[in-house]
Amino acid sequence: MRFINWTVTRRASAAILSLPLLFSSPVYTQSCGGDFADFVLQLKQEAQTKGAPVAQVNAFFKTVEHRPKVLKADRAQAIF
């Protein structure tokens, strides 16, 4: 029988299920530019306002980092 870490599984599921809340928010739809750290802080605050536990929000955003190469590739995409 395979061992399953249910705590990690529940946290991952909760994080995945909360993504639509984050990406349907006014913060997500703002125009490009501005300070990345401020943007992440706004997302964290909004997630907490919508009921996400602080520990879960911090765990979710722990590995978020600014990647200019990714942003450059995103901005190079055609608008559809």
The answer to whether 57 and 48 have CB atoms below 8 angstroms apart is yes
Which pLDDT tens digit goes with each residue over 42-55?
999 999 999 999 99
Which pLDDT tens digit goes with each residue over 58-71?
999 999 999 989 88
Cα–Cα distance measured from residue 44 to residue 42, given in angstroms and rounded to the nearest whole number? 5
**Residue 32 CA to its chain's centroid (Å):** 16
Hey, what amino acid is at 12? A
Domain map (residue ranges) of the chain: 6-75
pTM, two decimals, is 0.53
Cα–Cα distance measured from residue 61 to residue 41, given in angstroms and rounded to the nearest whole number? 9
In terms of Cα–Cα distance, which of 65, 32, 2, 49 is closest to 18? 49
